[in-house]
Amino acid sequence: MRKMFIAGAKCPECGQEDKIFVYQKDGEDIAECNACGYTSVRPKDVEPVQEQAVDDTGVVKFVK
Give pLDDT tens digits for 3-59: 899 999 999 999 999 999 999 988 889 999 999 999 999 877 767 777 777 777 778
Ordered by start, the domain boundaries in the chain are 4-41
* pLDDT value at residue 46: 66
6 φ, ψ (degrees, to nearest 5): -105, 110
What lies within 8 Å, CB to CB, of 7 at 6+ separation is 18
Backbone region of residue 6 per phi and psi (left: phi > 0; alpha: psi in -120 to 50; beta: other values)? beta
Which residue has better confidence, 2 or 33? 33
